[in-house]
Amino acid sequence: MSVVEDVRKSIQDVLAPDIKAIDARLTALDAAVKEGFASAEPVAAARHELILAELKTAKTIADSRHDAIIGALDIDKRLEKLEGKQAVSAVA
């Protein structure tokens, strides 16, 4: 064997087991992370649905309060009065 082949074989003999061990650890870590995400997904989905329900409730309340405020202000009647006053002022 040549010197280059001896060095290459020595490096492979030393590094190959370490690389395989690192690969096994990374595979196990990847599986653990995937399992963690899979177990957290139902919780996140339930919280998402809860937040959506609360947002819908808040929108319904805001819409009803807006309608109540608009109704209480009688903007249409006030506008008619102002237009009537402007019409009288324009004629005079």
Q: What is the pLDDT of residues 31-67, one digit of tens each?
A: 999 999 999 999 999 999 999 999 999 999 999 999 8
Higher per-residue pLDDT: 65 or 89? 65
Tokens of 35: 């399992």
Name the packing angle between helices 75-91 and 3-73 (round to 10°).
60
Overall domain count for the chain: 1
CA-to-CA distance for 77 and 88, rounded, in angstroms? 17
pLDDT, residue 77, reads: 85
Written as one letter, the residue type at 74 is D
pLDDT, residue 33, reads: 96
Q: Which domain holds residue 28?
A: 3-91
